[in-house]
Amino acid sequence: MMSAGTSRVKILCVRAQPNPDCATLLHSVVDEWVHALALHCDIEVIEQDFDLREVYERVKPDFLLFDSIHWGRKYRLTISNLDAYPDLPRALLLNNDPHEPMRPLTMDFMAAYGIDTVFCTGAEDLEHMHELRRFNAFVLPKFIDSDVFHDYGEERTIPVTIMSAHLFPTFYPWRARVTEEIQNLMPTLLYTHPGYTNARHDPFAIRDEKYARMLSRSQFCIADTTRLDYVVRKHLEIPAAGSVLVSPPSEALREYGFIDMENCVLGAAGAELYGKILAVANDPLWYERIRSNGSALVHSRYTRQHWTHILDWFACRRACKPGQKVQQDGVLGKFRIVEDEQGVPAIADWVVRDSPMAIKLRAARDALLHDGDLQAAVDGLNESMEWIGHIAEPWFLMGVIAFSVGDLDNAAQWLAKRSAIQGREDSALGILDPCEIAWLLLFAHLTGDEELYQQMSDSADRTSHLSIRRMRWLIDGANTDLDIKEAGLDAPREGDCLSIHWLGDEDFEAWFGLIQKVLIANEQMAAARVA
């Protein structure tokens, strides 16, 4: 943390223009990090196209911090003289849901802007996005505004509150079951989510202090960790406002310091959980101990005032000597300077776990690469697609599986689905992921679709990625006399664009084995059609 008297760091925050169709509620959520940082440093925010030389000479920032692309801010800026000041640190705050379908837009500008550091707003980003795991990425905690979320001293007249009770039940299955069952056992307030667009005015919407006061009037509040098992803002807002958090058991919550029956109530949906809630409610001293411990946890660690992580990282980076690097001391931890030796991770003493979604994506990847059960993989992907409608990673893997059995028509539809949906409103939003480009390039080659092949070739010219280099090598004749490493076919290169997908950075032997199966399957399918 910066000490008193230290000269304030100056950050140039580069953000896409706000989406006017986005609800005020969502804007306030995605903008809050700027207000938190501004407590600790000087910030210049730029939201329109600009010349880096001109702005740098005016602002003299210590480093650039880019915001990600998402529904709230969806059009990247055009920046001229981007190559100026190559020694100026450039970092990204990955300020979006881990399953955000616009992530390819962010990954594309990461490479173009020369970003070398990513700050994730939760471990879920690394859990869900396979290729991000090899990048210089750190995990920051979520936080609350303690001026809004604190105990208002309200009489706790609401036994149980469930915010957004009926929203996306397949993505919040624990909450959906609790909502259905608990209201039959104890008085329960169910709040309907007002939505994230400005399509209509909701006279019943509550936010800011009114929302915090409602939490403060509640004895217990319910918050799910989603199908992907990650911490959301409610997990901090609820105890900060003086209520008792009730949530499913979660490793992510443990990393934040939440402990069952000490500062929260955790449990699988069902009779045992409801019995624990009733037991605590019937013991005022026990209830107060859990409630006050939860509040103390959040207010001592996860407020705007404590959110200095990016500045602490910069202080270490600025002090690094040749041969040194910045390392985070565990997930959500502080930063320190260590020797930059081979194998030293960005985050110490922490191994990225696979989320429930990642488990299914990895299973499909392994089935493709190692002759596994493709039908089981398809079943797993179909199940995951029911969780939330816009998760794109299963679509891509479904496309490759279709490719591997010679089903080219379905393969193309699956591979292009994410881009097609995102590009309906504006083609600029439908930018293809590198792995999508690679496999559509092969599809166009095999089917003789010259127009699509030219489109994919143009996209490939603008995008550096291992899967694209390999697919072009294959289409150009698969010269086995070529030095695989020298040609960049063995592994990702520095400066490659990251893919959101779980197939594209495997070792060459595994990739080539998959390609051989794909080609054989499609030759057999073509022969069957002729016959």
d(CA 459, CA 448): 18
pLDDT at 1 (0 to 100): 35
Q: Are residues 402 and 522 in the same domain?
A: yes
Q: Is 277 exposed, middle or buried (0-12, 13-18, 19+ CB in 10 A)?
A: buried
Establish if 440 belongs to a structural domain.
Answer: yes
Do 17 and 73 contact (CB within 8 A), yes or no? yes
Establish if 220 belongs to a structural domain.
Answer: yes
Q: Where are the beta strands (DSSP E) in 389-429?
A: none
Q: Are residues 182 and 260 in the same domain?
A: yes
CATH number, domain with residue 99: 3.40.50
Q: Is 199 left (phi over 0), alpha (psi -120 to 50) or beta?
A: alpha
- From first to last of its 531 residues, the chain has per-residue pLDDT tens of 333 335 799 999 999 999 888 877 777 888 999 999 999 999 999 999 999 999 999 999 999 999 999 988 999 999 999 999 999 999 999 999 999 999 999 999 998 899 999 999 999 999 999 999 999 999 999 999 999 999 999 999 999 999 998 889 999 999 999 999 999 999 999 998 776 666 567 778 888 999 999 999 999 999 999 999 999 999 999 999 999 999 999 999 999 999 999 999 999 999 999 999 999 999 999 999 999 999 999 999 999 999 999 999 999 999 999 999 999 999 999 999 999 998 899 999 999 999 999 999 999 999 999 999 999 999 999 999 999 888 999 999 999 999 999 999 899 999 999 999 999 989 989 999 999 999 999 999 999 999 999 999 999 999 999 999 999 999 999 998 899 999 999 999 999 999 999 999 999 999 999 999 999 999 998 888 776
pLDDT at 199 (0 to 100): 59
d(CA 442, CA 153): 64
* Tokens of residue 513, six digits: 């084995």
Q: Are residues 290 and 402 in the same domain?
A: no
Q: Are residues 284 and 329 in the same domain?
A: no
Q: How many domains does the chain have?
A: 3
CATH number, domain with residue 173: 3.40.50.2000
Predicted TM-score of the model (pTM):
0.94
Task: Please give the helix or strand (H or E) that residue 25 lies within, else none.
Answer: helix 24-38
Establish if 455 belongs to a structural domain.
Answer: yes
Q: Are residues 22 and 133 in the same domain?
A: yes
Q: Are residues 294 and 312 in the same domain?
A: no
Each residue of 306-334: b (16+ CB within 10 Å) or e?
A: bbbbbbbbbbbbeeeeeeebbbbeebbbe
Helix residue ranges per DSSP H, 92-195 = 103-113, 124-128, 173-182
Q: Are residues 126 and 220 in the same domain?
A: no
Establish if 348 belongs to a structural domain.
Answer: no
Q: Are residues 371 and 335 in the same domain?
A: no
Establish if 73 belongs to a structural domain.
Answer: yes
pLDDT at 29 (0 to 100): 84
* Cα dist from 452 to 417, 432, 441, 447, 499, whole Å: 15, 13, 8, 10, 21
Establish if 146 belongs to a structural domain.
Answer: no
Q: Are residues 274 and 374 in the same domain?
A: no
Do 47 and 16 contact (CB within 8 A), yes or no? yes
Longest dimension (CA), the chain: 82
Q: Which residues contact 157 (CB under 8 A, 6 or more apart)?
A: 217
pLDDT at 531 (0 to 100): 66
Q: Are residues 60 and 102 in the same domain?
A: yes
Task: Write down which residue in 298, 322, 348 finishes a domain.
Answer: 298
Establish if 218 belongs to a structural domain.
Answer: yes
Q: Are residues 395 and 489 in the same domain?
A: yes
Q: Which residues contact 277 (CB under 8 A, 6 or more apart)?
A: 160, 182, 186, 220, 246, 265
Q: How does pLDDT run across 459-477, given as a tens digit for each residue?
A: 999 999 999 999 999 999 9
Q: Are residues 316 and 195 in the same domain?
A: no
Establish if 174 belongs to a structural domain.
Answer: yes
Q: Which residues constitute the domain of residue 526?
A: 356-530
